[in-house]
């Protein structure tokens, strides 16, 4: 069913002929299938629906007018910026897709350490512009190809630098938002034109409507501009990158150091992480390269730092005794970057790292100190520009388990979780055999520490239907394990409450049937009321989870 | 009706906890601000969350306005005095338990009536401390302070705007009760959550809506918070306060920007000599004397060391900040004439003596405060001084306090106007100053993030969309408008 | 390969859409972060390598048909390969550029072409050149008066292959003449096929006209064999790519050098000595087909092999074309050796250079898009403050010469040979 001509014409009048399409080829390329990206961003093996049209607005006014038309004709809409995640795609047949690509402005307020940005300003370019004036931003784990606006206002947004800079949500200052009914609001100080420096108030913050522990994943209107807090960058005005593709490396001054801190056991690991949470030492902290798996990480680092090597070299590398020694040395590890704001600051931080290792019985891995490897890791971690390395092994990956709790709960369970994954690697062939433990993630999911946000990388082949099926079975098993251990939803299931398996929106009845069982169902009942107040025509899809209030059981 | 109300209230909180003595009611009808209040009908003192919930449900049934109050007096912002008749004051000071202290997670959970003095003492025993607002009133509720997002002294550790506040239990204006943040993801029972090693650390959500941001900066208009979890810090083993004096505010701006940019310092704030004199002076006379002796402007720089290499950290930070001061033509010193750093540290980081320090100079005061950026502070200052001159208010009496917040992305700017409440002329002058000054600052771009009293009108009138949105949120959480009715409205 | 053979890639593409950007590690500013002209101009994701995978997949599955927009999208790839190398920063088993070209070939085989393509191809078939209006008979006009060795009669050090642009374009003919003179002055015996050679037809391959490419390339390979050509030197980057990377697939064993490689060698050996200073600052544009697509062809036959359950590899090791080993240093060495010349680099250089817009036939078929692409580069070049933009490809030079930057400004555009000539 195509849009009625008068609707299409109205939309075309808003954005111009060049910036709208209902061509089948164009619309087909605005569909997503999560097995090729990440299931925790949507359903696993069904394409999202075909949009009625793809619209490229160029300004807030254009977005507002498009949203008004959508309200007038009850057309669902969803805005996406970089289109990596399935959550950016629509969930019903009578819907249009907004592609925010034409809105990409960046304005840096160097003095007040913030960037005012539009949706298509990706983290890499915001960082590049910020570095020109000695600033940097928290780039979430998803990598620098992500829209900073989307990760900050619309989704989770923690990453390697969150220990120092805070997670993206913590860095959100004022925001401009086209509400689902077409009204435009500016939150905090920008509302009255005072500037973009504060996203809170006046009084209770309206930001509550679109940014909880995660953002609303495009389900409540369109965020068109935000201010994001920036942080110090004590380096050159651009990230100096050298080396032969793909082994690019950063040659930075001595006030930057990247170490892989290794520990004899999880207790030592936890001790070090806890001290880090309590002290201002790190610029960045992440368990990164274990994403390739406990058995493979050393070999993969050799491959990625040597332009001549390929994946077919893995078997030979895995037999290399020296590499095996290094791999064993960094069995339980995480990567850190320290950045000296001054010479003395660097000296203090170096000494502090040594002290932390002493207290935690740890050491620095030698291979990761080789100059080329060090410089490669430094660049990797600072820019997070290699994000599709997630897919390098098999073409597809999914994060699962998802240890979102505290250090002392999660680390004692790590070996058990790893053993479960290893069992699947050995006894089945659906997932890549990488060594069981492939846990990775930020040293802290929030600024200053306290919350972990770790996932296991599970690699499978999106072209191989048996591999996809087997991976789903593995996730069933990990969910069973997570439930047994009181750890909640498996990371791979994060969004199973947001879209149906067939990739369409849930009905209210379906949502009600899930959320009525919650320990504290008022959470979703209030979200229902919020949706009714701000999105009366329900045009955002079912990523916004709601429970009809009269379904809340008595006494809850 | 009055009697039946009293009877009903007594069944909820117990007869001893329902007060309607004229004197008590009068004391809740006004505060030290120029806001005009209306005498409440009752003051009730609930003892637990269930009583609070029952009260709110009853208020909904009877359309009775409730005004929650947690801190002891004197109050200064007009937010705790009823704006409408027939109100019931919900005095939460009796709910004053520290429910939990967890050193491993650096978390504590407190009820509304817990004061800073009580909490810091308990935390210190466990090797911890909580970030502080500047020398709060002795009777100040920790929870009110964090709910109202009073600026903290350690902006560098304020990753979240609302730090150190994390999770809460809230009885919303509609009578529903729930936990917020991470705590809302589990069973609604703190003991059980602790048994499951959940310590209410992550304050957002728990889903896509952020319940954290509804009772905060709300002046009790959305609901009543019955406990809150707070992120603590490890107790310092070394803690020094340094001073960077300057003749003009402008001289300190770039220095402060630089220090905060590099994430150096622990406490960092700027104040003028008058403000510092009031903070330090034990009497009006001493304050006058200090005003004459202290520098016109000073940046206060706190540096501390905790468990990890404390001496090294303090040495590095101190040395580097000294150098930054030098680079900006300033000097960082460990003491001012006759004033040692330790003394200022103790004053700043502890609750005030019983007579609130802001009232010591003249007996009363009015503050005008808002959020802005540091570069704009001289502009606001100039305008305020000009206004004072126009109004015949002595500019040297104006205290000025500038506090970086949220890792330095914004700044709390406070103008402190002390006056003698027994002097009618001076009182009237300050009232004019307050009203004209508030308007003047608003016109210049002041952002009243916490819009008390007349600031609500000033701020919300400039931002119709925010006001409409606020009204919708209010309708969701307090549909019958029973919570502190009349506040945060135009 | 057929389009169907690319289905594994379509389904293994991780939809990251990094194919829109230069390698993130190289981004220095927002303005010059993008790499793909096609999405740069058209703005829809459809125009990226990812979009093309997806469009092709939906065609194979019968969901997408050939609409006008689909046909234009398919042919709006400049075949510059920027997406390909951006992908290969991380991925080892995707070939986005090959797929883009296969999709074009698939469309052409289905008769789905753009109007501007047909005259070009007709001329190729009829006159053995892709410059519309040019005649086979005039192919050697550019060389009139030059004393080059007839390779069918004598041997020479090198066979000089001017290519169509230098042969027919009046503005460029003198560059080719100068190139030959420079070589001869350095003592090189320069040979020619004397018009027996055809268009290299690399551009036809970039446009999806596989048969026409095969016809031309076969004829050329035969001519090279007949004339006993051992080494070809060409100043054209398109020809260079065709001879170096594509012809070996059809059996050619001729050594192929771009003029800049040969000049670099002559300068290093002291056979070319500069006598004049050229006081100017220049910025250098890496032609796609000399730079990231200028790597040598390595023959390979093998099969897929999964290791570690699901890790996809090939047995034996398959050659990997990342663009890392393209011709980047030779032109820069030449510029560095010319007295007075100062090189100021643009942000997008070497393997992550921005395309001139002429590739893939786009300057003929989608001129507005092509001109916009060139204008983008001129904006970047002008931002360096350089006096001139230097390149080593006549297609680039031609496209730049006819474009303006975002402010409406033109820029002096020089072939690197012209700069060399100025210093002799």
Residue A390 has pLDDT above 90, yes or no: no
Q: Minimal Cα distance from B182: which residue of A?
A: A213
pLDDT of residue A387: 66
What is chain C's mean pLDDT, rounded?
97
Question: Distance between CA C41 and CA C23 in Å, rounded?
Answer: 19
Distance CA B147, CA B127 (A): 25
Task: Locate the DSSP E strands across C181-267.
Answer: 190-192, 231-234, 255-258
Cross-chain residue pair B161–A451, CB shorter than 8 Å: no
The pLDDT score that the predictor gives to residue A1 is 60
442-461 in chain A: CB under 8 A from chain B: 445-448, 450-451
Nearest CA of chain B to the CA of A554: how many Å?
11
- Rounded CA separation B28/B16 (Å): 18
Distance in Å from the first CA to the final CA of chain C:
48
Overall fold of domain A252-493: Vanillyl-alcohol Oxidase; Chain A, domain 3 (3.40.462)
Cβ-based burial of C134 (10 A; exposed 0-12, middle 13-18, buried ≥19) = buried
Alpha carbon of C119: minimum distance to chain A alpha carbons (Å) = 27
- Residue closest to A217 by CA, chosen among A42, A453, A451: A42
CATH fold for domain A106-232: 3.30.465
Give ∠ CA B138-B144-B147 in degrees, rounded to 5. Answer: 145
Residue C309 lies in a domain: no
- Per the model's pLDDT, the better-predicted residue between C250 and A490 turns out to be C250
Strand partners, A161: none
Separation of alpha carbons C345 and C187, rounded Å: 32
Interval A515-529 mean pLDDT: 97
Residue of B280, B254, B299, B264 whose CA lies nearest to B403:
B299
Is residue A42 predicted with pLDDT exceeding 70?
A: no
> Residue C202 maps to which CATH number?
3.40.50.1860
- Nearest-CA neighbor of A220 among A413, A79, A317, A405? A79
Neighboring chain A residues of C13 at a CB cutoff of 8 Å: 36, 395
Share of chain A residues as helix, strand and coil, in percent rounded to the nearest 5: 40, 15, 40
Q: What would the mean pLDDT of B136-160 be, rounded to a whole number?
A: 97
Residue C226 to residue B489: CA distance in whole angstroms? 93
Residues of B in Cβ contact (< 8 Å) with A188: 447, 449
Say how far apart CA C265 and CA C158 lie, in whole Å. Answer: 13
Nearest CA among B76, B204, B224, B206 for reference residue B147: B224
Give C51-62 pLDDT, tens digit per residue: 999 999 999 999
Q: Tens digits of per-residue pLDDT, C63-78?
A: 999 999 999 999 999 9
Q: In the predicted model, is pLDDT for residue A40 greater than 80?
A: no
* Closest partner CB to A310 (pick from C24, C33, C92): C92
Candidates B261, B312, B459; nearest CB to A202? B459
CB atoms within 10 A of CB B175: 21
What Cα–Cα distance (Å) separates residue B113 from each residue in A66, A135, B46, B452?
50, 42, 11, 22
Whether the per-residue pLDDT at A404 is higher than 80: the answer is no
Tell me if A200 and B449 make a contact (CB, 8 A cut-off): yes
Residues of chain A numbered 211-240 and touching chain B (CB < 8 Å): 211-217, 219, 229, 231-232, 234
Residues of C in contact with A386 (CB under 8 A): 24-25, 89-90
Q: For chain C, which chains pass the contact test of at least 3 CB pairs under 8 Å? A: A
Q: What sign has the CA pseudo-torsion C179, C181, C187, C193?
A: positive
ipTM of predicted complex: 0.97
> Per residue in A264-300, is it b (16+ CB within 10 Å) or e — as a string?
eebebbbbbbbbbbbbbbbbbbbbbbbbbbbbbbbbb
Q: Which band of pLDDT confidence, cut at 50, 70 and 90, is reported for residue A405?
A: confident
Give the tens place of pLDDT for each residue, B407-419.
Answer: 999 999 999 999 9
B67 cis-preceded (ω within 30 degrees of 0) = no
Phi/psi for A206 (5° steps) reads -65, -20
Interface chains of chain A (3 or more CB pairs under 8 Å): B, C
What residues contact A16, with CB distance under 8 A and at least 6 apart?
A: none
Partner-chain contact A128 C28, CB within 8 Å: yes
Nearest to C51 by CA among C110, C99, C93: C99
Min Cα distance A295 → chain C (Å) is 11
Closest CA to A40 of A390, A386, A383: A390
Chain A residues with CB under 8 Å of B451 CB are: 201-203
Give the closest-approach CA distance of C167 to chain A in angstroms.
36
Mark whether C and A touch (3+ CB pairs within 8 Å): yes
Instruction: From chain A, pick out residues whose CB is under 8 angstroms from the CB of B448.
Output: 201-202
- CA pair distance A286, A162, nearest whole angstrom: 9
- pLDDT tens, A108-140? 999 999 999 999 999 999 999 999 999 999 999
Amino acid A43: pLDDT: 63
**Residue B1: pLDDT band with limits 50, 70, 90:** confident
Cα→Cα distances C34→A29, A393, C287, Å = 20, 26, 17
Tell me the pLDDT band of A34, cut-offs 50, 70 and 90.
confident
**pLDDT at residue B185 in the model:** 92
Span A431-443, pLDDT tens digits: 999 999 999 999 9
Residues of chain A with C-beta less than 8 angstroms from the C-beta of B179: 520
Alpha helix ranges (H) inside A265-370: 266-278, 297-304, 314-318, 321-329, 343-360
Give the model's pLDDT for residue B345: 97
What residues of chain A, 325 to 354, have a C-beta less than 8 Å from chain B? 341-342, 344-345, 347-348, 351-352
**pLDDT tens digits for C331-343?**
999 999 999 999 9
Q: How confident is the model at residue A36 (pLDDT cuts 50, 70, 90)?
A: confident
pLDDT band at A453 (very low <50, low <70, confident <90, very high): confident
The answer to whether the Cβ–Cβ distance between C91 and A463 falls below 8 Å is no
Contacting A residues, span 62-101, partner chain B, CB-CB under 8 Å: none
Q: Do A24 and C33 touch (CB under 8 A)?
A: no
Structure tokens at B89: 């004051």
CB contact at 8 A, A390 and A291: yes
Distance from CA of A253 to the nearest CA of C (A): 17
Q: Where are the domains of chain A?
A: 5-102, 106-232, 252-493, 508-551
pLDDT number for residue B490: 81
| Residue A41 pLDDT greater than 80, yes or no | no
The pTM score is: 0.97
Distance CA(B270)–CA(B380), nearest Å, equals: 15
B127 pLDDT higher than 70: yes
Q: Which of A426-430, A492-496, B80-84, C146-150 has the lowest mean pLDDT?
A: A492-496
Question: Between residues 153 and 182 of chain A, which touch chain B (CB distance below 8 Å)?
Answer: 164-167, 169-170, 173
Q: Is the confidence at residue B90, as pLDDT, over 80?
A: yes
Contacts 24+ apart (CB under 8 A), A32-36: A32/A83, A32/A85, A32/A86, A32/A88, A32/A89, A32/C15, A33/A86, A33/C15, A34/A86, A35/A396, A35/A462, A35/A468, A36/A395, A36/A396, A36/A462, A36/C11, A36/C12, A36/C13, A36/C14, A36/C15
With CA atoms as reference, the chain A residue closest to C54 would be A29
Q: Examine the pLDDT at A386 and tell me if it is beyond 90.
A: no
Please check whether residue C162 lies inside any domain of the structure: yes
Q: What is the rounded distance in angstroms from the CA atom of residue C19 to the CA atom of residue C34?
A: 9
- For the domain covering A5-102, report its CATH number: 3.30.43.10
Contacts of B208 in chain A (CB under 8 A): 210-217, 219, 527, 543-545
How confident is residue C1, by pLDDT bands cut at 50, 70 and 90?
Answer: confident
Rg of chain C in Å (alpha carbons): 21
Which of A170, A203, A520, A556 best tests the B interface by mutation, with the highest count of B CBs <10 A? A203
Distance from CA of B217 to the nearest CA of A (A): 5
Summarize pLDDT for C98-154 with one digit per residue, the tens.
Answer: 999 999 999 999 999 999 999 999 999 999 999 999 999 999 999 999 999 999 999
Please give the mean pLDDT across all residues of chain B.
97
Rounded mean pLDDT of chain A?
95
Cβ distance of A208 and B209 shorter than 8 Å = yes
Cβ of A489 under 8 Å from any chain B Cβ? Answer: no
Q: In sequence order, what E strands does C285-345 have?
A: 303-307, 311-315, 341-343
- Provide the pLDDT for residue A71: 98
Can you give the residue range of the structural domain that contains C151? 117-268
- SS3 labels along A170-224: HHEEEEEEECCCCCEEECHHHHHCCCCCCCCCCCCCHHHHCECCCECCCCCCEEE
Cβ neighbours around B247 below 10 Å, total:
10
pLDDT of residue A273: 97
Instruction: Give the mutation candidate from C32, C85, C308, C329 for the A interface (greatest A CB count, under 10 A).
Output: C308
- In whole angstroms, give the CA distance from residue B82 to residue B487: 9
Using a CB-CB distance cutoff of 8 angstroms, which residues of chain C are in contact with residue A46? Answer: none
Name which of B162, B207, B216 is nearest A212 (Cβ-Cβ): B207
- Which residues make beta-bridge pairs with B339? B336
Token digits of residue B247: 């003749």
Residues of A in contact with B464 (CB under 8 A): none
Q: Is residue C200 one of the residues assigned to a domain?
A: yes
Helix (H, G, I), strand (E, B) or coil at A288: coil
Confidence of residue A489 (pLDDT cuts 50, 70, 90): confident
Task: Among C67, C90, C308, select the one facing A25 at the smallest CB separation.
Answer: C67
Q: Which residues does chain A have within 8 Å of residue B323's beta carbon, measured at their own beta carbons?
A: 342
Q: Is B441 on the interface with A (CB under 8 A)?
A: no
Binary contact (A193, B462; C-beta < 8 A): yes
Instruction: Say whether A25 and C88 touch across the interface (CB within 8 A).
Output: no
Domains of chain B with CATH codes? 2-94 (3.30.43.10), 98-234 (3.30.465.10), 238-443 (3.40.462.10)
- B2 inside 8 A of chain A by CB: no
Q: What is the mean pLDDT of residues B352-367?
A: 96
The pLDDT tens digits of the residues spanning B299-316 come to 999 999 999 999 999 999
In a domain, C325, yes or no: no
Tell me the CA distances in angstroms from A183 to A66, A100, A175, A470, A526, one per residue in order: 11, 18, 14, 46, 21
- The 3-class SS string of chain B reads CHHHHHHHHHHHHCHHHEECCHHHHHHHHCCCCCCCCCCCCEEECCCCHHHHHHHHHHHHHHCCCEEEECCCCCCCCCCCCCCCCCCEEEEHHHCCCEEEEECCCCEEEECCCCEHHHHHHHHHHCCEECCCCCCCCCCCEHHHHHHCCCCCCCHHHCCCCCCCEEEEEEEECCCCEEECHHHHHCCCCHHHHHHCCCCCCCCCCECCCEHHHCCCCCCCCCEEEEEEEEECEECCCEEEEEEEEECCCHHHHHHHHHHHHCCCCCCEEEEEHHHHHHHHCCCHHHHHHHHHHCCCEEEEEEEEECCCCHHHHHHHHHHHHHHHHHHCCCCCECEECCEEHHHHHHHHHCCCCCCCHHHHCCCEEEEEEEEECHHHHHHHHHHHHHHHHHHCCCHHHCEEEEEEEHHHCEEEEEEEEEECCCCHHHHHHHHHHHHHHHHHHHHCCCECCCCCCHHHHHHHCCCHHHHHHHHHHHHHHCCCCCECCCCCCC
Q: Which residues of B22-38 are buried (b: 16+ CB within 10 A; e: fewer)?
A: eeebebbbbbbbbbebb
Residue in C54, C67, C310 closest to A432 by CB:
C310
A46 has a pLDDT exceeding 90: no
Q: Does B304 touch chain A (CB under 8 A)?
A: no
How many domains, in total, are found in chain C?
A: 1
Question: Closest Cα to residue B166, out of A449, C93, A490?
Answer: A449
Q: What's the pLDDT at A522?
A: 98
Neighbours of C137 (CB within 10 A): 9
Q: Considering only A34-48, C48-62, C246-260, C344-358, which range has the smallest mean pLDDT?
A: A34-48
| Residue from A308, A395, A425 whose CB has the most chain C CBs within 10 Å, to mutate | A395
pLDDT at A39: 58
Q: What is the pLDDT of residue A403?
A: 74
């Amino acid at each position: 069913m195509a849009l009625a001509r008068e609707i299409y014409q109205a939309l075309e009048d808003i954005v111009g002929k060049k910036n709208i399409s209902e061509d089948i080829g164009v619309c087909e390329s605005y569909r997503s299938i999560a097995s090729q990206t990440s299931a925790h961003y949507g359903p696993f093996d069904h394409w999202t629906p075909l949009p009625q049209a793809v619209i490229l607005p160029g300004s807030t006014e254009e977005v507002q007018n498009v949203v008004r038309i959508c309200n007038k004709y009850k057309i669902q809409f969803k805005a996406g910026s970089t289109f990596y995640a399935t959550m950016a795609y629509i969930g019903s047949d009578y819907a249009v897709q907004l592609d925010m690509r034409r809105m990409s402005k960046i304005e840096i307020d160097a003095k007040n350490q913030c960037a005012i940005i539009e949706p298509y300003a990706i983290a890499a370019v915001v960082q590049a512009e910020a570095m020109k004036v000695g600033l940097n931003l928290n780039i979430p784990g998803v990598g620098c190809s992500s829209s900073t606006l989307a990760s900050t206002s619309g989704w989770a947004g923690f990453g390697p630098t969150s220990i120092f800079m805070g997670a993206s949500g913590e860095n959100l200052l004022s925001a401009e938002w086209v509400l689902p009914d077409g009204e435009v609001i500016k939150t905090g100080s920008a509302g009255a034109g005072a500037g973009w420096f504060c996203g809170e108030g006046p009084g209770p913050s309206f930001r509550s409507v679109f940014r909880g522990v995660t953002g609303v994943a495009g389900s409540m209107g369109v965020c068109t501009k935000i201010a994001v807090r920036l942080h110090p960058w004590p380096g050159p005005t651009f990230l100096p990158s050298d080396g032969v593709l793909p082994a690019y490396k950063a040659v930075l001054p001595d006030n930057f150091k990247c170490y892989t801190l290794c520990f004899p056991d999880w207790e030592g690991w936890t001790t070090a992480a806890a001290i880090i949470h309590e002290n201002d030492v790190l610029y960045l902290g992440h368990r990164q390269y274990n994403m390739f798996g406990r058995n493979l990480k050393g070999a993969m680092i050799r491959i990625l730092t040597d332009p001549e090597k390929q994946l077919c070299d893995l078997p030979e590398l895995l037999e290399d005794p020296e590499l095996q020694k290094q791999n064993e040395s960094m069995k339980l590890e995480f990567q850190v970057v320290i950045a000296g704001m001054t010479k003395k600051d660097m000296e203090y931080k170096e000494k502090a790292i040594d002290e932390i290792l002493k207290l935690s019985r740890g050491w620095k891995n030698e291979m990761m100190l080789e100059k080329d490897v060090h410089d490669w890791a430094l660049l990797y971690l600072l820019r997070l520009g290699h994000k599709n390395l997630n897919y390098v092994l098999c073409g597809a990956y999914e994060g699962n388990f998802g240890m979102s709790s505290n250090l002392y709960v999660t680390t004692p369970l790590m070996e058990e979780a790893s053993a479960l994954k290893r069992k699947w690697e050995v006894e089945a062939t659906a997932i890549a055999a990488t060594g069981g433990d492939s846990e990775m993630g930020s040293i802290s999911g929030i600024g200053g520490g306290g919350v972990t946000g770790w996932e296991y990388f599970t690699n499978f082949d999106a072209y191989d239907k048996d591999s996809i099926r087997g991976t789903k079975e593995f996730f069933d098993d990990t969910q069973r394990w997570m439930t047994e251990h009181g750890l909640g939803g498996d990371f791979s299931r994060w969004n199973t409450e947001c879209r149906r398996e067939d990739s369409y929106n849930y009905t209210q009845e379906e949502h009600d049937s899930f959320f009525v069982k919650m320990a504290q169902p008022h959470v979703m009942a209030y979200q229902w009321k919020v949706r009714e107040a701000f999105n009366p025509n329900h045009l955002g899809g079912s990523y916004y989870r709601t429970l009809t209030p009269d379904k809340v059981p008595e006494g809850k | 009706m009055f009697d039946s109300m009293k009877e009903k209230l007594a069944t909820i909180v117990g007869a001893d906890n329902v007060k309607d003595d004229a004197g008590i009611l009068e004391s809740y009808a006004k505060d030290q601000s120029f806001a005009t209040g209306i005498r409440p009908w009752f003051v009730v003192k609930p003892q637990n969350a269930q009583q609070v919930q029952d009260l709110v449900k009853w208020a909904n049934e009877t359309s009775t306005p409730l005004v929650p109050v947690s801190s002891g007096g004197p109050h200064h912002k007009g937010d705790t005095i009823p704006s409408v008749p027939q109100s019931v004051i919900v005095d939460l000071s009796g709910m004053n338990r520290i429910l939990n202290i967890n050193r491993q997670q650096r978390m504590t959970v407190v009820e509304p009536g817990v004061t800073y003095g009580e909490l810091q003492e308990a935390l210190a025993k466990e090797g911890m401390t909580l970030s502080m607002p500047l020398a709060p009133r002795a009777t100040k509720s920790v929870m009110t302070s964090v709910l109202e997002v009073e600026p903290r002294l350690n902006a560098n550790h304020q990753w979240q705007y609302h730090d150190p506040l994390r999770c809460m239990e809230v009885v919303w204006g509609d009578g529903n009760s729930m936990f917020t943040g991470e705590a809302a993801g589990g069973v609604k029972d703190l003991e059980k959550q602790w048994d499951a090693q959940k310590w209410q650390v992550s304050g957002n959500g728990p889903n896509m809506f952020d319940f954290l941001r509804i009772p905060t900066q709300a002046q009790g208009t959305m609901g009543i918070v019955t406990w809150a979890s707070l992120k603590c810090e490890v107790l310092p083993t070394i803690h020094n306060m340094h001073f960077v004096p300057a003749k003009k505010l402008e001289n300190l701006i770039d220095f402060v920007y630089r220090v905060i940019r590099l994430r150096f310092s622990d406490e960092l704030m700027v104040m003028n000599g008058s403000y510092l004199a009031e903070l330090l002076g034990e009497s009006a006379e001493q304050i006058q004397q200090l005003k004459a002796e202290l520098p016109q402007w000073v940046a206060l720089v706190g540096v501390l060391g905790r468990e990890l290499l404390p001496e090294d950290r303090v040495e590095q930070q101190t040395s580097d900040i000294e150098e930054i001061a030098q680079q900006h033509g300033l000097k960082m010193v460990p003491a001012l004439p006759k004033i040692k750093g330790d003394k200022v540290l103790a004053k700043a980081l502890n609750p005030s003596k019983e007579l609130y320090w802001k009232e010591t100079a003249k007996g009363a005061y009015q503050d005008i405060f808002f959020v802005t950026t540091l570069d704009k502070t001289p502009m606001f200052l100039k305008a305020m001084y000009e206004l004072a001159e126009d109004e015949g208010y002595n500019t040297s009496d104006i205290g000025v306090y500038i506090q970086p917040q949220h890792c330095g992305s914004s700044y709390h700017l406070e103008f402190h106007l002390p006056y003698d409440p027994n002097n009618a002329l001076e009182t009237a002058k300050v009232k004019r100053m307050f009203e004209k000054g508030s308007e003047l600052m608003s016109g210049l771009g002041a952002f009243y993030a916490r819009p008390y009293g007349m600031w609500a009108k000033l701020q919300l009138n400039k931002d119709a969309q925010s006001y409409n949105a606020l009204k919708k949120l209010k309708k969701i959480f307090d549909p019958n408008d029973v919570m502190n009715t009349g506040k945060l409205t135009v | 390969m057929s389009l169907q053979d690319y289905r594994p890639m379509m389904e293994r593409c991780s939809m990251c859409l990094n194919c829109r950007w230069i390698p993130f590690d190289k981004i220095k500013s927002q303005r010059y972060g993008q790499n793909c002209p096609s999405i740069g101009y058209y703005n829809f994701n459809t125009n990226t390598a990812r979009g093309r995978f997806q469009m092709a997949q939906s065609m194979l599955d019968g969901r997408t048909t050939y609409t006008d927009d689909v046909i234009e999208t398919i042919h709006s790839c400049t075949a510059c390969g920027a997406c390909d190398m951006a992908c290969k920063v991380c991925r080892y088993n995707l070939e986005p550029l090959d797929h883009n070209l296969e999709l074009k070939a698939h469309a052409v085989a289905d008769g789905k072409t753009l109007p501007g393509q047909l005259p070009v191809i007709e001329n190729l078939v009829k006159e053995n050149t892709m410059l519309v209006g040019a005649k086979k008979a005039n192919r050697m006009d550019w060389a009139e008066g030059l004393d080059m060795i007839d390779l069918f009669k004598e041997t020479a050090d090198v066979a000089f292959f001017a290519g169509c642009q230098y042969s027919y374009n009046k503005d460029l003919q003198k560059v080719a003449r100068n190139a030959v003179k420079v070589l001869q002055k350095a003592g090189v015996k320069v040979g020619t096929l004397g018009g027996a050679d055809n268009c290299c037809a690399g551009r036809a391959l970039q446009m999806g006209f596989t048969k026409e490419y095969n016809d031309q390339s076969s004829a050329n390979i035969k001519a090279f064999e007949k004339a006993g050509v051992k080494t070809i030197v060409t100043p054209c980057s398109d020809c260079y790519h065709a001879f170096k990377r594509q012809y070996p697939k059809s059996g050619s064993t001729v050594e192929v050098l771009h003029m800049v490689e040969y000049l670099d060698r002559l300068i290093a050996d002291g056979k070319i000595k500069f006598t004049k200073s050229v006081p100017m600052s220049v910025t250098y544009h890496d032609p796609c087909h000399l730079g990231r697509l200028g790597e040598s062809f390595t023959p390979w036959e093998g099969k897929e092999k999964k290791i570690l359950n699901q890790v996809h590899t090939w047995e034996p090791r398959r050659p990997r074309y990342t663009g890392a080993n393209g011709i980047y240093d030779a032109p820069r060495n030449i510029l560095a050796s010319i007295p007075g010349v100062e090189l100021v680099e643009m942000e997008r250089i070497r393997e992550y250079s921005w395309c001139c817009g002429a590739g893939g036939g786009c300057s003929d078929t989608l001129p507005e898009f092509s001109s916009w692409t060139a204008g983008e580069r001129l904006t970047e070049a002008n931002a360096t403050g350089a006096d001139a933009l230097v390149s080593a490809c006549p297609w680039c030079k031609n496209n730049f010469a006819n474009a303006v930057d975002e402010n409406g400004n033109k820029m002096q555009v020089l072939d690197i040979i012209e700069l060399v000539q100025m210093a002799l």
